[in-house]
Structure 1
Amino acid sequence: MSNPIILIDDDSDYLELLSGKLRDLGYTDLHLMDDPMAAAAAFEKGEPFDLALIDMTMPEMDGMALLDHIKNTSPGTECIMVTAINEARTAVDCLRRGAYDYLVKPVARDVLALTLPRALERKRLLDILDLEKGQAHPELVNPVPFEPIITQSPAMRRILKEAELHAASSVPILITGESGTGKELLARAIHNASGRAQFPFTPINMASISANLFEAEFFGHTRGAFTGAAASRTGFLEHTHQGTLFLDEIGDLPLELQGKLLRVLQEGEFSRVGSSERTRVDLRFIAATNEDLDRMMARKAFRKDLYYRIRGGWLHLPPLRERPDDIPLLADAFLAKYEEMPTGKRRLTAAALERLMAYAWPGNVRELKSIIQSAVNLAQNKPIDLVHLPEHLRMLPKRPRIPGADGAGRHVRPLAEVEKEHILNVYQMLDQNKSQAARALGIGLNTLRRKLSSYGIE
């Protein structure tokens, strides 16, 4: 696990013993310090630590004083106090000062295995809450996995930061958004930013899974389980052990198969077809859909228990029309990929770019990519102009106008802009009460939350 953890104890032998237990549990980013003053200085310099294990009795600065210092300089760091003396009064005092827990030496490995994940999960949830409340543009700690996602949209940057925070845990994630917004790309980024990056990422289109083959595809089968099955076969679950299983278009999964999937999510184990032996797997599940699952649950087309199981974390990708500033960036990126013009040479005329910016992009990023690729083929290493764009873009008026009473005319506003204004007006009129606003608008509560989130309102 990549969470940075600092261990502070004046006994260097105990530090080595404790760090060995943590490494056995999979924690690799460990920082050992036998000088509490040096540890305090590290926090003052702004060194980031998700978790601190602090000995209570140390010279120059005791554990309680160091706890106060850490909470003042790095309030996001979760602190666990470690002591050789079990005193209830001291434990209560530590908790009141902001410590997450109080452990007594020698700390058993199973106690660490239980306590540390809970402390890190608390930190992750608090970081997400801080992200929702904050107004500043959040920076990624590890931007490399997210580099394939090209954006300068503030709303998208907040989504990427939240995705990075989710990546540190193993909670299931639900990614929603229109077709072509990049849900699989985001799922891959989360996998690559997690501690499971070295293990498989297995994408599955749930719409393509038939009822007859579901168990064989997911669970695998033994030799002779089917007529003509001469050899056993490993299913998706076993193949992806310790990795990430991406369930794309989960809203298209037939109702009769949703219960079978739910059982695996709940129990974490399965049996191959033709065998009664149970196999346990360690997986991270990420699901995605362009369907409105609220409406599907209302008409009983999607199981509520499955919905709440896959929605451990929820990320909604806004459509491209709601982040138009990303269109030139994406177009340049696709041009760099498909064309052979020298770097720095103008590759897209102003007229062509204007049409791209005026289009509503129902197919989102996927459609933009396809149009750029086609235009590159037609342009034959010349700058892309209107003539190289599809007819429906060439025929698109620059700015639709409706004649006014004065004859001057006025611009036609995009539907998404009108919808946004109406939703925000109703939301403010009802004192920012989401439940009342959703009822007044005639939409589901989660749908309203997605809309507000895409507008930068949490």
Structure 2
Amino acid sequence: MDNRKNILIVDDEPRFRELLCSRLQRRNYNIIEAEDGVRALEHAERARVDLALVDINLPGMDGIELLQRLKELDGRIEVVIVTGYSNIETAIAAMKHGAYDYLSKPYKLSELEAVVERALEKQRLTQCCAGLSAEVNHLRERSWSLPVGQSEPWLNLMQVVQKIASLGVPVSVLITGPSGAGKEVIARALHQLSNANCNPFVPINCSLLQENLLDSELFGHKKGSFTGAVADKEGLFYTARDGILFLDEIGELPESSQAKLLRVLETGEYRPVGGTKELHTNARIIAATNVDLEKAVAEGRFRQDLFYRLNVINIKVPSLSERRDDVPLLVEHFMERGKSLSALSLKFTAEAMARLMAYPWPGNTRELRNVVERIMVLNVGDLVEDAMVAAMLNQQQEQAAVANTAPFEEVIPLAELEHTYVKWAAEQLDGNLSALSRCLGISRSKVYRILKQIEASV
């Protein structure tokens, strides 16, 4: 994708536009020209505009009105008003409506270049602050941290991640690996280690939404485009502009959505559901999957052209069984993250840690976190013995066996999770359903159902 800044020059004098265009193109800016406000707005609706140089006296729509319309279209656009008449009232009006600066003709082109650079730097810092704010809020919600590991496979992986993150030109990345291995953690590391880490990181799991809702989430929708669309909605491609859109479980993307995603990757353009105008995004795509996409392509379940566009660079995340040396570090990491679950400072005996390291971990780091949090809630005393670990791992295997043989709605392991066990855990966590679901390894809704059954049986 072209990462140059887009500058829109709006002036009804062709020679003046030509002069500015020639000068700014030398500074590696991408220039869009318009002779009036109507055409300027058409350009701004079709493509991203970072900065607009707007003459105050335009045919039809004057510069102040165009300034307002551009700001309504995209508040990120910086606008510099240019006029042949020095007028303090006009300058005040321009600044009041959000103009970055005001220049009177004639002026030195070097002066204009300086204003352009300052306006774009202000835009960059504003976006950086917004991105950091969004990231801080996300981290508070999900307690995400940088990848943890010291094993050879993990260190090799992080070297690859650092190399990709340092690339000056953004490319599409496909992250593969088993469920629970940390594919989103790697995607976030790519974001954090890149020079675009101030911009948004926006994740979505493609398997969690129906096809029509997925399109609405990705591309947005217009009011009235379907039942329940009571207002316009900006999609995640808009939210992730200039940042990263992380598409988890990309192998579950419906066929029609695959075609739309391919178009965005090729042109940067998309259309909201029910919309008539093309919008532009500069979002970088990182996709992840735990399925064999090449096999899916061969079976006709995934578009070959989309696979090639996504798979410019492939990163394979090792399973936890391939990096057993990282288990002690991960245990400490998960205990630190979940320290609110226990007032004790737990330590594992050598035998208990050895058992954790020897376990195959079919659910990878997600399963390890689940076991550690259960132990934090249920362990008596500050020393975790081998017997406790053995009991937790046996329970994991029993639940996995039930999950592999029973229909989904029968997976709730009520036989293993005695009502007294669940009730006691709920009391320890002050009824926090989210924490309880993590500790028990079942969904929040199922925890709620079990507690309701306990209440009914009392």
TM-score (ref. length: structure 1): 0.52
Q: Which amino acid aligns with 2:148?
A: I
1:261 aligns with 2:244: no
For residues 364-411 of structure 1, what are the alpha-carbon distances to aligned partners after superposition, in whole Å with 9 as ceiling and x for unaligned? 111111101100111145211133236363599xxxxxxxxxxxxxxx
Shift of 1:243: 0.9
The aligned counterpart of 2:164 is 166
Partner AA of 1:348 in structure 2: F
Specify the SS of the correspondent of 1:318. Answer: coil
* Equivalent residues of 1:339, 1:381 under 8 A apart: no
Residues 412-431 of structure 1 mapped to structure 2, 5 A cutoff: none
| Cα 1:368–1:307 shift into 2, 3 Å | same
Q: Is the 8 A contact 2:375 2:392 kept in 1?
A: no
Deviations, residues 261-285 of structure 1 (Å, cap 9, x unaligned): 1111111111222322111110110
CA RMSD, 1 decimal: 2.9
Q: Could you list the runs of 5+ residues in structure 2 that have no partner in the other structure?
A: 1-22, 31-112, 114-143, 397-458
Change (3 A) 1:206 1:349: same
Larger mean Cα displacement after TM superposition, 196-205 or 221-230: 221-230
Contact 1:181 1:365 in 2 (8 A): yes
**Which residue of structure 2 lines up, in the alignment, with residue 359 of structure 1?**
359
Distance verdict in 2 for CA 1:339–1:217, change over 3 Å: closer
SS of aligned partner of 1:277: coil
* Partner of residue 205, structure 2: 205
Q: Which amino acid aligns with 1:247?
A: L
**Alpha-carbon contact 1:352-1:384 (below 8 Å) kept:** yes
Q: Provide the aligned length of Structure 1 versus Structure 2.
A: 258
Contact in 1 for aligned 2:206/2:214 (Cα 8 Å): no
**Structure 1 counterpart of 2:385:** 385
Preserved contact between residue 172 and residue 311 of structure 1 (Cα < 8 Å): yes
Shift of 1:164: 1.6
Matching of residues 11-410 of structure 1 within 5 Å: 21=27, 148-168=146-166, 169-339=169-339, 347-389=347-389, 391=391, 393=393
| Conservation of the 8 A alpha-carbon contact between 1:371 and 1:390 | no
Determine the structure 1 residue equivalent to 2:17.
none
Q: Deviations over 1:399-444 (max 9, x none)?
A: xxxxxxxxxxxxxxxxxxxxxxxxxxxxxxxxxxxxxxxxxxxxxx
Cα deviation, residue 147, structure 1: 6.4
Preserved contact between residue 188 and residue 201 of structure 1 (Cα < 8 Å): yes
Greater helix share, structure number: 2
After superposition, the Cα gap between the structure-2 partners of 1:348 and 1:270, relative to the gap in structure 1 and judged at 3 Å, is same
Contact 1:224 1:231 in 2 (8 A): yes
- How far apart are 1:339 and its partner, in Å? 4.1
- Take 2:229 and 2:201, find their aligned partners in 1: how far apart are those partners? 27
Q: What residue identity is the alignment partner of 2:247?
A: L
- Change beyond 3 A, Cα 1:395–1:244: closer
Aligned residues of 1:287 and 1:310 also touching (Cα < 8 A): yes
Q: Is the 8 A contact 2:371 2:393 kept in 1?
A: no
SS for the counterpart of 1:285 is strand
Equivalent residue letter for 2:174:
L
Kindly provide the CA deviation profile for residues 126-151 of structure 1, in whole angstroms up to 9, marking residues without a partner as x. xxxxxxxxxxxxxxxxxxxx962111
Opposite residue 196 of structure 1, the aligned amino acid is A
Sequence identity percentage: 39
Cα deviation digits, residues 214-259 of structure 1 (max 9, x gap): 3322111223323453321101111111110000011111233211
| TM-score normalised over the length of structure 2 | 0.52
Asked if structure 2 preserves the Cα contact closer than 8 Å seen for 1:174 and 1:315, the reply is yes
Give yes or no for contact 2:262–2:309 (8 Å, CA) kept in 1: yes
Whether contact under 8 Å (2:371, 2:392) holds in the other structure is no
**SS at 1:202 equivalent:** strand
Matched with 1:125 is: none
Answer whether contact 1:247 1:285 (CA < 8 A) is retained: yes
- Structure 1 distance, partners of 2:275, 2:183, is 35
Which aligned segments of 4 or more residues in structure 1 are displaced greater than 6 angstroms?
340-343
CA contact (8 A) 2:355 2:390 kept: no
Q: What amino acid sits opposite 1:238 in the alignment?
A: Y
